């Protein structure tokens, strides 16, 4: 099962390419598109990804505001947040706003794999709970 991923990136082309390459290197992730922060909400509505990866560069505060807005609008989605510098306050804020994981330049392939596995496990558990709930309901 591939987790469809939307990358939200306002950083330069080099940063965008690096993250896209990282996503492509993960056999369990499928990049559906890369968009700017201004287009994220619209593209989530039309592409229906399961995972939204938000790169906070070049404006981390604006990126965190976008995370909060998208998390409220799409609570069923998983959100990864990335930023070059692992600032503890930024990390705490991202998790408080609903990020599933925070990735930085010091974290590597294994960290992305672990974050993916956690997101998939949560998704599959919710799917199984939904199946059980639907199977137990008596419909008219």
Element (H, E) at 87: none
pLDDT in tens, 29-42: 899 999 999 999 99
First and final C-alpha spacing in the chain: 34
**Domains present along the chain, CATH in parentheses:** 3-136 (3.40.50.2300)
pLDDT in tens, 84-132: 887 899 999 999 999 998 987 656 545 666 777 778 888 888 878 877 7
Peptide bond just before 30 cis, omega within 30 deg: no
Q: Provide the edge-to-edge strand list for the sheet that holds 78-82.
A: 29-35, 3-8, 51-55, 78-82, 101-103
pLDDT in tens, 63-80: 999 999 999 999 999 999
Q: Which two tokens stand for residue 49?
A: 């990804």
Question: Which residues in the chain belong to E strands, given as ranges?
Answer: 3-8, 29-35, 51-55, 78-82, 101-103
């Amino acid at each position: 099962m591939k987790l469809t991923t939307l990358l939200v990136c306002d950083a330069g082309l080099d940063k965008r390419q690096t993250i896209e390459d990282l996503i492509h290197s993960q056999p369990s992730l499928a990049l559906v598109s890369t968009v700017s922060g201004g287009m994220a909400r619209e593209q989530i509505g039309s592409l229906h990804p399961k995972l939204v990866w938000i790169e906070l560069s070049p404006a981390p505060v604006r990126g965190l505001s976008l995370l909060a807005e998208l998390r409220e609008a799409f609570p069923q989605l998983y959100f990864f947040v990335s930023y070059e510098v692992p600032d503890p306050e930024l990390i705490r804020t991202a998790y408080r706003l609903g990020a599933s994981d925070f990735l930085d330049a010091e974290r590597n392939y294994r960290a992305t794999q672990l974050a993916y596995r956690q997101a998939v496990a949560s998704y599959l558990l919710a799917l199984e709970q939904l199946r059980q709930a639907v199977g137990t309901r008596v419909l008219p």
